[in-house]
């Protein structure tokens, strides 16, 4: 399982690098080909990658299926020229905006699925690919609604848009951002199908003494990190299929720290913390292995 996940992550990383080389990162078309970036040729415009996501989520496992109520902090780093002042003008007037992204870690085989198993249906019942919001879809397009916090110019035509409610892996390519318009995007009386209510917190995080000692060794805001861990774990990030395996150890990669945990009843026990290369000082529980096992 560990080797399979490592291979999957490497595949996704290589695919992302290939995308950045062969696509129009920064919006600069290749040459004067009328079929590239301008809707000519076969009539299909090429994708322009305007930036990438920054978030605490180091891999797919643990990323919220929808934005969590507590609002995980993150954002979009726009590359030149899309971070210029003239490109951002007016965005600060909106409280929320949409992020349209490309789920680059989705494997090619998963883009050919015609049905999926939404977690809200327990992970057993299937819907058609168009009857769910899973990223296992032909074009791997993601749609995220986030709350704007602030805009930070970082020079040379680049900028960072900070937000709350991020539900994407760090480094995810961004295709577009658009302001949220309540009169157009919010439909009173809309029928939500099988997802009538937001996902509720179902687990109570509990930290072991060893995990708390390791927390003191982290070179980051420890209170904020603990709140992030508690928020993610309280909504049970495990795939529906593994929820019937009591005692199984898991790991979530947050801000580069592997958080080891297991479930006991309605408790999510944080048993230890480790870095990418090994345990942090004070952590003896490393049985969780690689994140997401």
Main-chain phi, psi angles of 241, to 5 degrees? -70, -25
- Give the tens place of pLDDT for each residue, 234-262: 988 887 766 767 678 999 999 999 999 99
The pLDDT confidence band at residue 130, using thresholds 50, 70 and 90, is: very high
In a domain, 257, yes or no: yes
Q: List CB contacts of 243: < 8 A, sequence separation 6 or more.
A: 123, 236, 263
Contact 291, 58 (CB under 8 A): yes
| 135 is a domain residue | no
- Decide if 29 is inside a domain: no
Q: Could you list the residue range(s) of the whole structural domain that residue 274 is in?
A: 200-239+247-293
Residues 181 and 268 in one domain: no
Residue 49 CA to residue 79 CA, distance in Å, equals 9
CATH number at residue 262: 3.30.2310.20
Q: Does residue 269 share a domain with residue 213?
A: yes
Residue 282: pLDDT above 60?
no
pLDDT digits (tens, 9 = 90+) for 43-87: 556 788 999 999 999 999 889 877 776 689 999 999 999 999 999
Query: Which one is predicted more confidently, 7 or 75?
Result: 75
**Residue 15 falls inside a structural domain:** no
How many separate domains does the chain show?
2
Which range among 21-35, 111-125, 216-230, 236-250 shows the weakest confidence by mean pLDDT?
Answer: 21-35
Q: How far apart are CA 249 and CA 251, in angstroms?
A: 7
- Tell me, yes or no, whether 56 and 176 share the same domain: yes
Identify the CATH number of the domain in which residue 160 sits: 2.40.30.70
Does 162 lie in the same domain as 231?
Answer: no
What's residue 241's pLDDT? 65
Gap between the Cα atoms of 242 and 202, Å rounded: 15
| 180 and 204 share one domain | no
What pTM, to 2 d.p., does this model score? 0.78
Q: Which of 266, 267, 259 is nearest to 293 (CA)?
A: 259
Asked if 163 and 255 sit in the same domain, the reply is no
């Amino acid at each position: 399982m560990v080797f399979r996940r490592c291979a999957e992550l490497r595949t996704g990383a290589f695919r992302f690098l290939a995308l950045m080389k062969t696509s129009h990162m920064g919006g600069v078309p290749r040459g004067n080909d009328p079929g590239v970036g301008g809707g000519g040729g076969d009539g299909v415009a090429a994708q322009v990658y305007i930036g990438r996501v920054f978030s605490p989520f180091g891999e797919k496992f643990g990323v919220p299926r929808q934005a969590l109520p507590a609002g995980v902090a993150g954002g979009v780093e726009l590359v030149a020229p899309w971070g210029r002042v003239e490109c951002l003008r007016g965005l600060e007037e909106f409280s929320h905006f949409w992020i349209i992204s490309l789920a680059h870690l989705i494997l090619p085989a998963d883009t050919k699925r015609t049905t999926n198993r939404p977690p809200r249906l327990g992970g057993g019942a299937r819907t058609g690919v168009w009857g769910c919001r899973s990223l296992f879809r032909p074009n791997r397009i993601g749609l995220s609604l986030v709350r704007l916090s602030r805009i930070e110019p970082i020079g040379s035509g680049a900028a960072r848009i900070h937000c709350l409610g991020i539900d994407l892996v760090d480094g995810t390519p961004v295709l577009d951002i658009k302001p949220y318009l309540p009169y157009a995007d919010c439909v009173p009386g809309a029928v939500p199908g099988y997802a009538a209510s937001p996902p509720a917190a179902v687990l109570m995080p509990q930290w072991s003494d060893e995990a708390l000692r390791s927390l003191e060794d982290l070179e980051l805001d420890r209170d904020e990190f603990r709140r992030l861990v508690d928020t993610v774990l309280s909504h049970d990030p495990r795939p529906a299929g593994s929820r019937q395996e009591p005692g199984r150890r898991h790991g979530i990669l947050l801000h580069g720290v592997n958080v080891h945990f297991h479930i006991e009843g309605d408790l999510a026990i944080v048993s230890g913390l480790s870095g990418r290369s090994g345990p942090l000082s004070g952590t003896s529980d490393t049985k969780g292995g690689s994140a997401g096992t």
